[in-house]
Amino acid sequence: MSRQSQAFIPTLKDAPADAEAISHKLMVRAGLIRQMGAGLWTYLPAGWRVERKVEAVIREEMEGIGCQEMLMPVLQPAEPWKKSGRYAIDELFKLEDRKGSPLVLAMTHEEAITYHVAREVRSYRDLPLMLFHIQTKERDEPRPRAGVLRTREFTMKDAYSFDRDEEGLARSYDLQSGAYERILDRCGVRWYKVESDVGMMGGSGADEFMAPCPAGENEVALAPGYAANVEVASARAQPVELPAPLSAPERVSTPGLTTVEEVSGALEVPAGALIKALPVIVEDRGMVLVLVRGDHRLNEIKLRNALGAEFRQAGAEEIAAGLGPVGFIGPVGAKIPVIKDAAIVGGSFVCGANEPDAHLRGVQPSRDFEFEELDVRTVEAGDTAPGGGTIEIEPAIEVGNIFKLGSRYSDPLGATFLDENGKEQAIVMGSYGIGPARIVAASIEQRADDRGIVWPRAIAPWQVHLVSLAKAGEPEREAADRIYDALGAAGAEVLYDDRDAGPGEKLTDAELLGCPLRIVAGRRGLAEGVVEASERASGAEHKLPVEDAAERALALLAGVDDGSGDA
RNA sequence: CGGGGAGUGGCGCAGUCUGGUAGCGCACUCGGCUGGGGGCCGAGCGGUCGCAGGUUCAAAUCCUGUCUCCCCGACCA
């Protein structure tokens, strides 16, 4: 129940000059949010209503699977973070109180929840257990961007499961996964569940819920029956036509030609017939030469996971000292371990000769150099997915993610229980995050048209936007007032535009704000005894008799097909 | 962290090169007209030109430093 003349919904004719993403522009323009600093946003009343609606959906689905709500502080002692090993993360905000005690601003709540569970849970009889809260997170992001999409402070629903073993974890994980699917469907978000990297969370397995949209900062590899973040995606490469094999590598002079393009051009072979050699320094292992096909890109996350260790690119001096001249290095004759990407197959490649201004052709793996084979390249559109489908790559927003943590936190923080045999065991944990703000942004990105936002009913700030085109005191305004009262009496959520503004401004604002049903009460319709209802999503228009306009509007609303799973 | 761009009234911008009265559109206030797609007329309010220091008779403008914001990349539970 809101009269727009008294509401704080500052709409803008133009988007801020520095906004790029659709959701960023529209959320600012529609008066949902305003910026306070880089990655720091205020939710204005209409925006906050939307955010709270998403939270309400999340709450219902969490409670539906027996996950209990609680609330943990954002400001926390540093101690548990030191124990878990995450105190070293750059993104973690660190501070001190007046006594000099180290504190942190939590970026997630694994440490806090594990701290509590470690103290209260003692027996297998206390398990399984699922807890969640909806709380602010703080992250010192290197680069906040795109409005509400990547911020330094944001609200997240994070849930945690506690089980006695892996089977229990699998059950909890499935329950959470199902809840996430329902949450996103109900919020009208199109999504894919994809395999993902465990990242800084640590743990044994993870899935992400990705909402495809242009502003997405992740890329997902999709094919029928296959979906994975490109960070971890694996597929069969497109074949490349190799030159005829030689009985032994042959040295060719390539003066000054150091890039794949230059060498493939000069030797008239496709880029994929080259081997790119990338020297990296692996933690505790020294320099290793990683090979990928000339037309492929090394995927650092896949390499890190395959190595089971951190690594960095070797510096120019290190390369010169350990291998050969930068730009002309290759695996033949290299005196360091070689990792060959699995997509390098066949017997006649071109690679650096480890001497200035020279390459080798006719190089054949195994025959000419030894290697360990790993899948470390980034998949590309057109590759063949494990199921046989053709890979497409699409940008997407990560709206949620779920992790099998195992004992990643229960070990360092001492969260254990006694089993039936009186034996102490580590609690097996899972963690499940979802970002309401990203759901809001994704919903806008996926559904907006050139006039503005198109909300699904479940998260619209108001269900009905009643627009009076008349001025206060006119009979047409009184008719609108009566409809407003009737809608309110019927329990509908109505935003009533009773501002003394021109019709163009009001109608444009209504489309910008995107409530599912707009009702226009103006002189033209009222002269024939009707008001005009239009569905924001479909554009369908209906004339409703004034006398029972409210009732008819509610009936219409119930049938509005808004594209969400909740209609 | 690397590259690029920008800080001038609430928003969008001009003015900066070539130093000399701070300006435009929108918004806002008041009055009037208008009333189905951001309308019109008139009168107004509102700015330490991001900050600090320097050069100069004089700095939005030149110099030095610094802060902030945006975009691309790196990074990103």
Residues 6+ apart with CB under 8 A from A527: none
In 3-state terms, what secondary structure has residue A34? strand
Please report, rounded to whole angstroms, the spatial distance between the CA atom of protein residue A482 and the C1' atom of nucleotide B38. 27
In 3-state terms, what secondary structure has residue A510? helix
Beta bridge pairs of residue A133: A158
Please report, rounded to whole angstroms, the spatial distance between the CA atom of protein residue A469 and the C1' atom of nucleotide B41. 23
The model's pTM is 0.84
Residue nearest to nucleotide B70 (CA to C1'): A18
Nearest nucleotide by C1' position to the A433 CA atom: B77
**What positions of strand B are covered by protein, i.e. any atom < 7 Å from a CB?**
1-2, 5, 11-13, 26, 34-39, 68-77
Nearest nucleotide by C1' position to the A89 CA atom: B77
Backbone φ and ψ for A133, nearest 5 degrees, come out as -145, 165
Residue nearest to nucleotide B77 (CA to C1'): A201
Please report, rounded to whole angstroms, the spatial distance between the CA atom of protein residue A37 and the C1' atom of nucleotide B22. 28
Q: Are residues A329 and A360 in contact, defined by beta-carbon separation less than 8 angstroms?
A: no
Residues 6+ apart with CB under 8 A from A82: none
Please report, rounded to whole angstroms, the spatial distance between the CA atom of protein residue A2 and the C1' atom of nucleotide B56. 59
Please report, rounded to whole angstroms, the spatial distance between the CA atom of protein residue A17 and the C1' atom of nucleotide B30. 32
Nearest nucleotide by C1' position to the A522 CA atom: B36
Please report, rounded to whole angstroms, the spatial distance between the CA atom of protein residue A15 and the C1' atom of nucleotide B61. 29
Q: What sign does the dihedral A122-A126-A129-A134 (CA atoms) show?
A: negative
Give the ipTM of the model, two decimals please: 0.87
Write the DSSP string, A343-378: T--SS-EEEE-SSTTEEEEEE-TTTS---EEE--BP
b/e string for A480-498 if b means 16 or more Cβ within 10 A? bbebbebbeeeebbbbbbb
Nearest nucleotide by C1' position to the A203 CA atom: B77
Nearest nucleotide by C1' position to the A534 CA atom: B36
Please report, rounded to whole angstroms, the spatial distance between the CA atom of protein residue A28 and the C1' atom of nucleotide B26. 17
Please report, rounded to whole angstroms, the spatial distance between the CA atom of protein residue A7 and the C1' atom of nucleotide B15. 38
Please report, rounded to whole angstroms, the spatial distance between the CA atom of protein residue A505 and the C1' atom of nucleotide B32. 21
Nearest nucleotide by C1' position to the A435 CA atom: B77
Residue nearest to nucleotide B12 (CA to C1'): A17
Fill in the DSSP letter of residue A390: B
Tens digit of pLDDT at every position of chain A (567 positions) = 588 988 899 888 877 777 788 888 899 989 999 888 888 898 999 999 999 999 999 999 999 999 999 999 999 999 999 888 888 888 899 888 888 888 999 999 999 999 999 999 989 999 899 999 999 999 998 888 888 889 999 999 999 999 999 999 999 999 999 999 999 999 989 998 887 776 655 566 788 899 988 888 888 888 888 888 888 888 778 888 877 777 877 888 778 777 777 777 777 778 777 888 888 877 777 778 888 888 888 888 888 877 777 777 777 777 777 777 777 887 777 778 888 887 878 778 888 777 888 778 888 888 877 788 888 888 887 887 788 888 888 888 899 999 999 888 999 998 999 998 989 999 999 999 999 999 999 999 999 888 899 999 999 999 999 999 988 778 888 889 999 999 999 989 999 998 888 888 899 999 999 999 999 998 888 888 899 999 999 988 999 998 898 888 898 888 876 655 443
Nearest nucleotide by C1' position to the A451 CA atom: B37
